[in-house]
Amino acid sequence: MDAAFSDLRNIPAISRMLNRHANPEVEQALLGALLTQPAAFGRTVGRITAEDFADPVHAAIYDAIAERVSQGRTVDHRLLGDVADSCNDVLQEFGGGRTYLAGLAGGAGLPSSVIDYADTIRQLAVRRRLIDAGLRAIVLADETQRIEDAVSVVIGDAEALVDGGGAKTRSEVLAAMVAGMEKPGKVYPTGYPSIDKAWGGGMYAGRMYCIAGKGKAGKSALAGGISYALNRAGVRHAYLALEMGAQEIEQRQVARELGTHSMALIGHVHATILARAGQYAATAEQQRLNNVVYVDMPGGTMDRLRTEILAAKHRHRCAGVIVDYWQLVTGRPPGTSEEEHLRRVAEWLAATVKRLGIWVLILAQLTDDGEATAVSRTGMNRNADQLYFLRDCNIDACRWLEGKASRYTPTTDIGSASEPALKLVYPGPHFEDWGARGNDDTRQAQMDMAEG
């Protein structure tokens, strides 16, 4: 691959393109300022690195300056000799290191322009790396046996180019915080007022929510109910189905719309139900009820998960993603434990939602006794912004959510064993929010009968 990549890079048209995105004069002006202004280097930290310089000589000089700063030594004209000695090999072609560095110092840019210089160098470096990523994609498409492997590498290259924002001063953080207060970020209600209340109004971009439960506890039904509410509210989102398929999920949703049981849509379907289902499907787009992007991915790997989430954001313009469920993400690298693999999945999700500006709701499996495994504790406790366990109780088909962790709201339970917040009801089935209904006579009578 290296030889093919170099051949492409040496094509005259590509070389000219790369050269257009290099500015040696700006690099020289910045280095001159760093060599003559004692405090200038600190203004570049977090904005650029040595690898951002197009000229390898300039990269070596910047690296040498950084090394001296890390040793607590002031960078000024008295260190020109030390820097020249450090970079002597790469400076020989310029007739001697001291001569070239003295020329840089003599042409130093203005101290007030150091940040502008650094930002320009960084932006040009990103453009050159994007061109290189495109060249690598060409080589991979031609040489890689499995196209999935090529796509995974290309996505990784693209992710690495996303600017994380660099360092920010306290004043910059405070200004951004106040601006956020003036125009708060959008919140996406789940359709369950009891959950929304505990989560500060619903789901926010940049946050990861996790609901864990035993097998058959109703995790998918709850996620389906949230998806149903988002769809009706016009919120475009993706549903990554690693267990239950898209058609099975939609059978529950359509049954809820038609006021029937999902089993009525399976096997020999009554003519009346079939006609109503067909009418509903035909008018879903017209009624603006086409806001879910389904991805059937049983046995889906980490690479596939990464691909689909990026596609949900950039191709389908989704506000968030539902992942059903965490422990089914495969693709564990050789020599990696299951715990480490799933922890990396959780860490990647937590970082990605912040970078992409989306939310993710991820379901997870508990053991049969309702306890979290070591995987859950190390993976989700550390990475989820909200972590809740879906619990059953003695009241038939009722559930409540035990709060386990929260980064931005008080960690509270949603309902309790004696007063559950959710009940699985028909049509559908779907979960109904009991917590939002209050202690009306009907609910209290049902609870009394169950306890009796």
pLDDT of residue 162: 64
pLDDT single digits (tens) 245-270: 888 898 888 888 888 888 888 888 88
Question: How far, in Å, CA of 23 to CA of 117, rounded?
Answer: 10
Question: How far, in Å, CA of 75 to CA of 81, rounded?
Answer: 11
Q: Percent of the chain scored above 70 by pLDDT?
A: 82
Residue 430 has pLDDT above 70, yes or no: yes
Taking only Cα atoms into account, the Rg of the chain, rounded to an integer number of angstroms, comes to: 29
CB 320 within 8 A of CB 203: yes
Tokens of 114: 């150091």
Tokens of 28: 């020289």
Q: What is the mean pLDDT of residues 349-377?
A: 80
Question: How far, in Å, CA of 303 to CA of 330, rounded?
Answer: 9
pLDDT single digits (tens) 289-338: 889 999 999 888 888 888 888 888 888 899 999 999 888 998 888 888 88
Residue 448 has pLDDT above 50, yes or no: no
Choose between 162 and 256: higher pLDDT: 256
Residue 163 has pLDDT above 60, yes or no: no
pLDDT of residue 186: 85
pLDDT of residue 191: 94
Choose between 399 and 32: higher pLDDT: 399
User: Residue 29's closest CA among 112, 128, 90?
Assistant: 112
Q: Which residues contact 164 (CB under 8 A, 6 or more apart)?
A: 355
CB 206 within 8 A of CB 289: no
pLDDT single digits (tens) 118-132: 999 999 999 998 898
Residue 95 has pLDDT above 90, yes or no: no
Question: How far, in Å, CA of 130 to CA of 23, rounded?
Answer: 17
| Mean of per-residue pLDDT scores for the chain | 82
The residue with tokens 């959510």 is: 401
pLDDT single digits (tens) 97-123: 566 777 777 777 777 788 899 999 999
CB 109 within 8 A of CB 21: no
CB 240 within 8 A of CB 291: no
CB 218 within 8 A of CB 390: yes
pLDDT of residue 207: 93
Torsion of CA 180, 184, 188, 189, to 10 degrees: 130
Choose between 215 and 374: higher pLDDT: 215
Written as one letter, the residue type at 166 is G
Residue 181 has pLDDT above 90, yes or no: no
Q: What is the mean pLDDT of residues 358-376?
A: 78
Residue 89 has pLDDT above 80, yes or no: no
pLDDT of residue 358: 92
CB 199 within 8 A of CB 386: yes
Residue 451 has pLDDT above 50, yes or no: no
Q: Percent of the chain scored above 90 by pLDDT?
A: 28
pLDDT of residue 228: 93
CB 405 within 8 A of CB 386: yes
pTM > 0.85: yes or no: no
Residue 369 has pLDDT above 90, yes or no: no
Residue 446 has pLDDT above 80, yes or no: no
pLDDT of residue 368: 75
Least confident of 22-26, 351-355, 372-376: 372-376
pLDDT of residue 8: 86
pLDDT single digits (tens) 199-245: 999 999 999 999 999 888 889 999 999 999 999 999 999 999 998 88
pLDDT of residue 447: 42
All domains in the chain, ordered by first residue: 2-160 (1.10.860.10), 187-451 (3.40.50.300)
What is the DSSP code string of 138-183? HHHHHH-SSHHHHHHHHHHHHHHTS-------HHHHHHHHHHHHHS
3-state secondary structure 45-105: CCCCCHHHCCCHHHHHHHHHHHHHHHCCCCCCHHHHHHHHHHCHHHHHHHCCHHHHHHHHH
CB atoms within 10 A of CB 1: 11
pLDDT of residue 86: 63
pLDDT single digits (tens) 134-159: 888 888 888 877 776 677 677 767 76
Residue 277 has pLDDT above 70, yes or no: yes
Least confident of 163-172, 206-215, 442-451: 442-451
- Residue burial 413-430, b: 16+ Cβ < 10 Å; e: rest: bbbeeebbbbbbeebbbb
Tokens of 329: 């993400």
